[in-house]
A and B are shown apart, each in its own frame.
Chain A
Amino acid sequence: MSRRPPKGEYIETDTGNKVARKANLVGTQNIMLGGKTVIQPEAMIRGDLTRLNPPSSTSSSGAAAPGSNTAVSIGRYCFLDRGCCLRPPSRMYRGTFTYLPLRMGDHVYVGPGSVVQAASIGSHVHIGKGVVIGEMTIIKDYTRILDGTVVPPHMVIPSFSIVAGRPARVIGEVPEGGHEAFELRELYKTVGNNPQRAPV
């Protein structure tokens, strides 16, 4: 932290998002941040991979407004660590290839170097380091995915699961007393242009 750029390493928005200047955000108009979200350097969000509307199907579903094609929506107090990648999942839908939005709840931590292609991630989810989350995965609330896990596509992970392995399997249950450990408010305060010192 000796060299600090004059403008600050992070762009801090009105809603409290802290986005690193070195983060790789593609298609920012399709990325929704709920506020108080931290995006660390080298993290990548592929907002350009939006729902593809083939010209033939616009006649049937003409109601799709151009602004509604959100590719990635992120809740509050999420933390995207260094070098992780959020990528909307794709699938064949009615014979055509399309991307579907990636939805993420509150207090989601994505570890460094992890690749997330889930369809939905609940709230209070901890994704470790070097995790791969396959396409169309559904991850429910209070889930901990340990480092190096490979979650196969289409897997559903129920609430309060501890998941590990390649392919991932549920290896344990989050204890009742462990719910508070998912809170990311403290972690949020420790980054930014004028970070607070981490509590002991």
Chain B
Amino acid sequence: MAPPPLTPYTFIQCPCSDSSPAGPAPASPSGLGSDAEDDDRTFDPRAPRSNYSLHPLEYLMYCEDCHQIRCPRCVAEEIVTYYCPSCLFEIPSSNLKSEGNRCTRSCFQCPICIGPLAVTSLEAPPDPNLLAADNASAPSGPYILACSYCHWSSTEIGIKFDKPNGIYSQLQKVHNGGHPRVTAKDRKDRRKDTISETTVSSEPSSTPATSGPLDTETHFDNLRSFYTHQISDSVSSGPGLSLTDMGVSSPSSLTRLMNLYTVNSLDPSKKPTAASARRSKPTFREAADAEEGLQPADLDESSAIQALRVASWPGTATAEQRGTQEAVRLSNLAEPPLHGRSRLVSELRPIPVLLRTKRSKRCPVCRHIISKPEPKVASTRFRIRLVAGSYIPAIAIRPLNLSSPSLSSPTAAAANGLLQPLKPVQYLLTFTNPIFDPVKVTLATPATVPGRFASKVTVLCPQFDIDANTDVWDEALRAGEAKKRADERLEGLKEDEDVLEIPMFVRVEWEVEAAAEVGTAIGGKETRERRELAYWCVLGVGRISQD
């Protein structure tokens, strides 16, 4: 299989990765200073760490205060706005804490194909022969969620809705199949009833829990309230701490709970000491019935196996579909007895849309904001947007084959997009100056490219000036020649090892008006401040032919 053609590219190294001490162990003698060593070291685009420090120019930011490039890995992000990408409504962050990171309106994704679900009326369209006034009445329910990509609809899991809006809350109240589901509010009400009942009869009643197995949320709720009562009872009977001091999750209650298992039950041979006996004197009782959260494990899985057998392969949910369901479980919308692990397609639930954010970015060093979008969802403007593209020259590389009459091979090489070993190829580097001051550029490359298939590189014009950016695009062209030489034996290639990448050190120098607030310019004399920026970049040139 032929490798895909490679369009030449330029990646720039962010200086944030420089500070890391990692890298090859210094082989130089100890006499050399670390500075000299630093200068000698060339950037290796093949080093495993390089993948994380190289970025296209568009992804880079520029801090005006530090005069340094900043990459997506080193900036600090702050969330400005949360919004739903489907209905484009902004979600206040207070709602986010209570309702989770998914849209709670009517935005859902198909559980089968993740396409968007549309609320559709199930009722047949009104007769067009009727009067317009009759037709104008909005279609009435029931409503379903339908995917127009794979034609899945919520009727397949037996769910219909009465209203076309607020689908999220409606979906929370029904199980697959359409039977109602106990919500948190219902549980609270029921709990209140049973508690008043038990206080009257002073013994746990088992009347309301006889109807089938508990769902997960009721189960957890019952268990938690039972153990909260146990703890508060034992505390109130014990000395010292008041009830308000101790929550369920306070360290002392946890020790108490752990003691219950470690001291008394797990080690029967060990005689309970006086201290532990005293501590466990207000004994913890275990949950004894469904009202207290006892749920015998259903070990009989024959029905599940039978269901799988009936549904067979097409009816079984894929790992990807189950993965998205797992995320839905957190938003309390999944089928509870399954804990989000749906095996069958019929157990899947529509996926509420995950919210998206608008984020501002800060410089990691000086904490200045380098990118800040408008908080409004509809706006695409930025209040602050310091992108590297408007500070450092853009570098484009392309093969120079038209104007090289002496070399006929590059055109042949370019035909199949591969570089022929042992044939020199010329490339043209184009620097575009984005700033309104002339810029002096110095280039340096290692004589040979690092890697197993070393290629020789010569930059024909390592130092040149680019004129200031004007309204008319003014481009300075400089030719660089990369003479390549690669080994003939090219078997045993690793992935992308045949891609020729040239590391290049770019140093940019320019002069700007000195900042007025700096006190150095006391006299009326206009001072010019020299700025310089130096960074490594990688030029991806092309693939080396393996023939």
9 nearest A-B residue pairs (beta carbon)? A152-B149, A177-B387, A177-B58, A178-B58, A152-B115, A167-B115, A153-B148, A95-B126, A158-B85
Known: A175-B59, A177-B59. A159 touches B380 (CB 8 A): yes
Given contacts A60-B136, A141-B380, A155-B116, contact A176 B148 (CB under 8 A): no
Is B316 an interface residue when CB atoms closer than 8 A count as contact?
A: no
What is the CB-to-nearest-CB distance from A8 to chain B, in angstroms, rounded to a whole number? 27
Instruction: Report A-chain residues with C-beta under 8 Å of the C-beta of B60.
Output: 177
B243, chain A: closest CB distance, angstroms? 49
Say whether A188 faces chain B, with CB atoms less than 8 Å apart. no
Interface range, B side: 35 or more
The reply to whether B116 and A154 contact each other, CB–CB distance below 8 Å, is yes
Tell me which residues from 153 to 200 in chain A have a Cβ below 8 Å from any Cβ of chain B.
Answer: 153-161, 167, 169-170, 175-178, 180-181, 199-200
Verify if A63 is at the interface (C-beta below 8 Å from B). Answer: no
Restricting to B132-163, which residues have a CB under 8 Å from any CB of A?
132-133, 135-136, 147-150
Closest approach, in angstroms, between the C-beta of A164 and any C-beta of chain B? 13
* Inter-subunit contact B396/A200 (CB<8 Å): yes
Chain B residues within 8 Å of A, Cβ to Cβ: 57-61, 72, 83, 85-88, 113-116, 118, 125-128, 131-133, 135-136, 147-150, 356, 361, 371, 377, 380, 382, 385, 387-389, 396, 398, 428, 430, 473, 475, 477
Q: Hey, which chain A residues are within 8 Å of B356, CB to CB? A: 158, 170
Q: Report how far A124 CA is from B387 CA in the complex, Å.
A: 18
Q: Which of B85, B113, B114, B135 contacts A95 (CB 8 A)?
A: B135
Chain A interface residue number, banded: 35 or more
Return chain B residues, CB-CB under 8 Å to A157.
85
Kindly state whether residue A2 has any CB partner on chain B within 8 Å: no
A94 at interface, CB cutoff 8 A = yes
State the main secondary structure of chain A at its contact with B.
Answer: loop
A59 at the interface (CB under 8 A from B): yes
Provide the residues of chain A in CB contact with B125, threshold 8 Å.
92, 95
Q: Name the contact of A176 in the complex, choosing from B61, B85, B473, B477 (C-beta under 8 A).
A: B61
Taking A178-B58, A200-B398 as contacts, is the C-beta distance between A56 and B131 under 8 angstroms? yes
Q: Complex Cα distance A92/B124, Å?
A: 12
Q: Could you say which residues of chain B place their CB within 8 Å of the CB of A92? A: 125
B148 near A177 with CB under 8 A, answer no
**Residue numbers in B under 8 Å from A95 (CB-CB):** 125-128, 135
Chain B residues near A181: list those with CB within 8 A.
58
CA gap between A92 and B148 in the complex, in Å: 14
User: How many Å lie between the Cα of A96 and that of B129 in the bound state?
Assistant: 10
Q: In the assembled complex, how far is the CB of residue A55 from the closest CB belonging to chain B, in whole angstroms? A: 10
Identify the closest chain B residue to A175 (Cβ): B59
- C-alpha spacing A56/B130, complex, angstroms: 9
| Distance to closest chain B CB from A176 (angstroms) | 5
Interface contacts beyond A140-B380, A178-B58, A200-B475: sample of 20 additional A-B pairs, CB < 8 Å, sorted by A: A92-B125, A95-B125, A95-B128, A96-B135, A134-B148, A152-B115, A152-B149, A153-B148, A153-B149, A167-B149, A175-B59, A175-B72, A176-B58, A176-B361, A176-B371, A176-B385, A181-B58, A199-B475, A200-B398, A200-B428
A109 within 8 A of B: no
